[in-house]
Each structure stands twice: as structure tokens, then as C-alpha cells.
Structure 1
Amino acid sequence: MADRVPIPMVLFEHLAQTGLDVDAVLRLAKLPRSRFNVARPEGTTAEFFALWRAVEQTAADPGLGLQLGHAALTDEENVASLAALHSNTLGEGLERLARYKRLVCPEKVWLDIAHGEARLRFQWLLANEEPPALLTDLIFAGIVKVAQQGTNTPIKPRRIELTRAPADEIMLQQHFGCEICFDAPHDVMVFDEAALALPMVKRNAQFLAILLPGLDLALSNNDASRTLVDDVRDALVETMAGERPAISKVAKSLGMSVRTLQRRLGELGTTHQDLLDEVRHQSARRLLKATSLGIGEVAFLLGYEEVNSFTRAFHLWEGVTPAGWRLNAAA
């Protein structure tokens, strides 16, 4: 998957309208203005995060992300949002939003329905650090705007789960009108399952008949560049929540036997354990830096049976204990 994120010029127009000095933001993000003198400006995930962190540091309003998301920066430009808006029902729209999101940027969305809840889970596939809080707020506010605009109802999420440590809880509760949970394993927006049946007022089968074949072809071409290693990483991230993702579960999720998975990974010069260690390492850094979870809780979420096992593994990765690394990261 190519590490390319569109950075539309309309974004800078919106930032300027809020009173921000766009040139100062770009200097802080170490992104030269000349990078955006092209028809379709793009950046890497790291550059995109740097841009939004610069906006966070420059903006006086902690609710700027909510404001920009509600303004629907991409509702009429983002192909995933367009596919959602013209679907028959909210559920169908959210499924299409999840399916086509990766065509917009290297962010994957899972839609899971169980126990009366529809859970939208978000994961930046090529990120080495936690996304800026302001960016997450913008994305979540944009999803709610699509749902409200599409159904023409004041629909609200049932709950929002954020990986970051507690901050601005009252502001988020007032905007979204729902429970806000912090220190979560993943960034998740939860709707009532019953809401999925709401009709979309802009539904247009003819428009989708024109739009979707091109999107599916682009998605197929995008997936053609993926490797088995990418698929295994995704499977590990998806299944790792309080238990060790056994290779048998990963193989089953990919539709192959354990022996075939081991053989094909070996041909690519890696193993299930190597990839599990890589995903655990990246997830551990994210959880230690962005949340206030205890070391034992982090170890549990990463599937370690004992805290000591996690501590030893982390020391091998970073040369310091998890607690020591967290102190250094906070300095």
C-alpha cells in the first residue's frame, strides 16, 4: 500500500477562515509551501500527522477538529463519503464508507455488528505513532455529519471510545451527545444497531451504478499491491485484544491452513512470531504514549499472560522498561 495521503487545498482555506496563519502552520510542520503547488497535493502519513500536530499547537480552540469535521471538509469530495451518502440505508452507507476509506488514505475502517451495536473501528495502517487528537475528532465529527446529513435525522452515536488519555471530555460529550470512553484499545464509534435501518434521503441507485465500479476497480488495483505480510499484520491488529493471536486464528481469518501460512511467510523471509512481535511493539509504544493505562493493562491488551513477559520483550525492543520508556516519551 502506497503511503500517500491527499492534502486538499480547501483544507488551508478552512484553516485560514478560523484565523490560523497557514504559513506558520506549515513551517511548524516542516512542510514547504511549494509542496502544494500541484493539482493534487499529497503527503506521507507522518507528514499528514505533522501537519495536524502543527494545527493543534497553533490553534487556540481545542474544538477546532470538531468544528472542521462538522463543516464536512470532504463530504462532497471524499469518494467514500459520496458512496455512503447515496446508499439505501445508513447501514449500507457505513459498510461502503468502511470499504472505500482506504482509497482516500491509508486508514482502515472495520464495521462490526454484535450485541445490538454497530462498531466502526479506525486504524491508520502505516502510522508509527498515534494520530493527533484533533485529526481523530475531525474524522469522527465528519462521520456523524454524514450520518445526520444522509438520514436527515439528529442521529447520535451511542458511545465513542478513544485511545488517548482523558482530555476535553465535557467538550466531546456536548458535541457528540454520548458517552466518551478514554484509554481504549482502538478508536471506535458505536451506533445502535437499529439505526442501521434508517433510510438515506439522498439515495441514488443510478449514481452508485456509475460510481461503484470505478471504486471497486481502484480497490482491486490497490489490493493487488498488498502482500501476505500486510494481510497478516491486519489480522493480528484485528484479533489482538486481550489474548495472544494464535497462528491458527490468523490462518483461519485468511482462509488457509497453518502449514500453508507458515510456508508462505517463510518464502517472504518472515514468520508469524516476527510479525506478532512487530505489531505488539508498535501497539505498545502507542498505548504507553497516548493512554494512561497501567503497564499490566497494556500487557493484557497485547495478549501477554504475565506482565514480566511483556516487560522483558519491551526491554529487548527499546533497551528500557515500559515504565521508563513512558517517562521519557512524556518528557
Structure 2
Amino acid sequence: MSPAAFAALDVSLEQLCARAGVPLSSRWDTDDFFRLWTAAEAEFDGRDAGLRFGAGGVALGYGVAATVALHAADFRGALAALSRYKRLSCPERVDVEANGDEVRVCYRWLAATGLVPRLLVDTCMASLTELARVGTAGAVAPIRVELARAPMDEALLRRHFGCPVVFSATHDAMVFKRAALEVPFVTADGGAFARVLQRFEQQLAAGVGFSGLLGELRLTIARQLSEGRSPSVDAVARRMHLSRRTLQRRLDESGTHFQQQLAEVRRLTASRLLANTELDTVAIALLLGFVEPNSFTRAFRTWERTTPLRWRERQRGCAA
């Protein structure tokens, strides 16, 4: 959801920024964006707040990319627009992955250094469901929701989405039947759609929006790890169709380096797995590409100033 989405809350944006401890802006980095949503979460008593907010946001036009997507010719075009133009308004990546008879719409916060706020995830998922419902006049609905968090509110979520909900997933995602891609949109407006896309393409060409390099790098590292492949700079550069020298030069220009980005991906993945699964530290170390479990423990101590197991206990204690 874009920064404009906060206008729907019953608290002013200035107050929300003050409570979150972030500057008033129309463009926040991922950490500040998460702090805003965490602060917003504290404003609501109902566990369904994100679901209501996301479902209402499409009609009210709070998501720029979703509003544009409504004018696409079909669900395939809508998802393509959502995926491409999301980064104009917030530091989020939406990947559309077709596999067999399913298509998976995956939300990735590749610059994140902490867990994604529950309210934000629920809002994104509800918004996508509403986009599909409104655009196709109810012909398309999800067949499964996958959430990268520990089980909670399952009955509430199943009622809202009308499908099974899987917890402790690798990423937050919504799954549809692949045939849904061809369903035409009743809200289509080819002329308006083409004009808006032209304007958005001009903005992307001018460098407007959130940088894609670090997001693409983190996604590539994550895919290498998930496939059990080496996360070395050479392997990752090849997968990004770049030379090692070009990748390192571009990272230097961005004020970072490869090992720092690898550590951030490992840190975030480790935090998610420790908080939301029962995997032991040996299994997590292997999933993160560490040769020795002790290497993972040492790295985790550097990141969090405690051991993985103590961190898990502390997180679950806070959630209780």
C-alpha cells in the first residue's frame, strides 16, 4: 500500500509519524515504513482491521498500482501492472510465478531488516482479493493464502478469503488457479490504461520510485539459498546476467557491498524461520547456506547479540 493509504486511518499522518518515531514524508525506507504500520496496528482493537482496510482501499483508490491494474484487459494484465508499478509508491516487490495449474502472487520486502507487520500483510492480501473480485465481477477468488508467520486468526482469515490458509510459509503469497489469468476484467479501459502506463513508464525511466538493484540482488540471493545453491558473488552475478565487476561497481555506487547484502538476507530469513517455524538451528543453518551450524550461531550473535534459541524464546515470550 502507498503512503497515501494512511489517509484512511482515524489518526492523522502527523500523529502516526510521531508515534512511530519516523519523519513526516511521502517516501520512507522499508524500516520506517514498517514502523508506521506497526504504530497503525496499535490503533486498532479488531483483529480484522487489515482485512477491512485492504478490502476498502481498492474502491477508495489508496493503492496506485492496484487502481491502475483495475483498467487492465484481464487478470494477467492486472497482475503484470501490479508487479511492475508497485515500486513507484512503496519499497515492495510483487512477483507473479506460474507453476503447473497455479499462479502464485508473492509479496517480498527485500530491503527489510525485521518481520513484516501483521496489519500490512493482511491489508495487502485483502487488497489483492478485492482487486480480483471487483475486476472480474466475482469470477476470480484465491484458492490458497500463504503467510510467513506463526498460526494465528486462522478462522477469521479463512472466512474472509474463503480458502485454506497456510502458515509458516517462506513468503507471504496468494495463490489462484492458473486459468484465472485469462479472465477478462469488467473494469477494463484500454485507452485510459495505455495513457497511465505511458506516464508510469516515463517515471520509471526517469528513475522515480524505489531502487531495483538491491531488491533484485536480495531476491537472487534468496533464490540461490532456497535452491541449495552457492550464494557466492560470482554465482549471484551470473544469475543476474551481470559480470562480477559490474555488480560490485553498482553496489559501490549504492554505498554497500555484497557480503553486507548476503548477511541481511540471511538475517531476515533466520528471524522469520526462528519466529514462525519449529525448525532447529542445524536445519536453519543449512537453509542459509552455512557449512557449519556453529558459523550460523556466531553470525547470529553478531546480528542480534544473543543465540538463535534465546532469540526465539524472547520473541515467543513477547507474543504470548
TM-score normalized by the length of structure 2: 0.84
Aligned counterpart for 1:135 among listed residues 120, 125, 128: 120
Show the counterpart of 1:10. Answer: 7
Residue identity opposite 2:84 in structure 1: R
Name the CA shift for 1:270/1:25 in 2 (closer, same or farther; >3 Å).
closer
Q: Relative to 1, partners in 2 of residues 1:168 and 1:296: Cα closer, same or farther, differing over 3 Å?
A: farther
Alignment of 1:114 onto 2:99: yes
What's the % identity of the aligned pairs?
37
Partner of 2:287: 301
Read off the aligned partner of 2:20 and give its amino acid letter. Answer: A
Find out whether 1:168 has 2:168 as its counterpart: no
Q: Is contact 1:5-1:44 (8 Å) kept?
A: no
The equivalent residue for 1:315 is: 301
For residue 113 of structure 1, give the secondary structure of its aligned residue in structure 2.
Answer: strand
Q: Distance in 2 between matches of 1:295 and 1:321?
A: 10
Q: Distance in 1 between matches of 2:140 and 2:210?
A: 38
Indicate if the aligned counterparts of 2:89 and 2:209 stay in contact, CA closer than 8 A. Answer: no
Once residues 9 and 50 of structure 1 are traced to their aligned partners in structure 2, the CA distance between those partners, rounded to angstroms, is 13
- Give the Å deviation of 1:260: 5.2
- Alignment partner, residue 90 of structure 1: 75
Q: Quote the residue 1:29 is aligned against.
A: 20
- Tell me if structure 1 keeps the 8 A contact 2:2–2:63: no
SS of the aligned residue for 2:265 comes to helix
Report what 2:237 is aligned to: 251
1:327 paired to 2:313: yes
Q: Which amino acid aligns with 1:206?
A: G
Deviations 1:165-224 (A, max 9, x none): 110111111111112111112111111111111001111111122111110121223379
**1:203 partner letter:** A
Secondary structure at 1:208 match in 2: helix
Query: How much is the aligned-residue C-alpha RMSD, in angstroms?
Result: 3.3
Which letter does structure 2 place at the counterpart of 1:11? A
Matches of 1:64 and 1:147, distance apart in 2? 20
Measure how far apart 1:238 and its partner are.
4.2
Q: 1:132 to 1:206 in 2, by over 3 A?
A: same
The alpha carbon displacement at 1:136 in A equals 0.5
Partner of 1:123 in structure 2? 108
Q: Deviations over 1:132-164 (max 9, x none)?
A: 111110110000100110011252212111111
- CA deviation after TM superposition for structure 1 residue 9, in Å: 5.7
Counterpart-to-counterpart distance in 2, 1:22 and 1:265: 34
| Contact kept in structure 2, 1:8 and 1:41, CA below 8 Å | no
What SS does structure 2 have at the residue aligned with 1:110?
A: strand
Q: Which runs of 5+ in 2 are unaligned?
A: none
What whole-Å deviation, never above 9, does each CA across 1:53-101 have from its counterpart, x for those lacking one?
2333342210111111111257534331122111111011111101111
The answer to whether the 8 A contact 1:25-1:54 is kept is yes
Residue equivalent to 2:184? 199
Amino acid at match of 2:293: V
Distance 1:55 1:101 in 2: 21
SS of match in other structure, 1:164: coil
Q: Deviations over 1:267-292 (max 9, x none)?
A: 87865444322321233234334555
- Give the match for residue 267 of structure 2: 281
Gaps of 5+ in 1: none
Distance in 2, Cα, partners of 1:323 & 1:55 = 30
Deviations 1:200-255, CA, capped at 9 Å, x for gaps? 11111111221111101212233798485554234213443252434454223321
Contact map agreement 1:7 1:42 (CA 8 A) in 2: no
2-structure distance, mates of 1:185, 1:111: 15
Q: Which amino acid aligns with 2:131?
A: V
Judged with a 3 Å threshold, the aligned counterparts in structure 2 of structure 1 residues 229 and 87 are, in CA distance, closer, same or farther, namely closer
TM-score under structure 1 normalisation? 0.81
What is the deviation of 1:25? 6.2
For the residues of structure 2 that align with 1:204 and 1:281, how far apart are their CA atoms? 44
SS of equivalent residue, structure 1 residue 240: helix
Separation (CA, whole Å) in 2 of partners of 1:31 and 1:258: 36
* Matched positions, count: 316
Equivalent of 2:164 in 179, 198, 205:
179
- Distance in 2 (alpha carbons) for counterparts of 1:178 and 1:80: 25
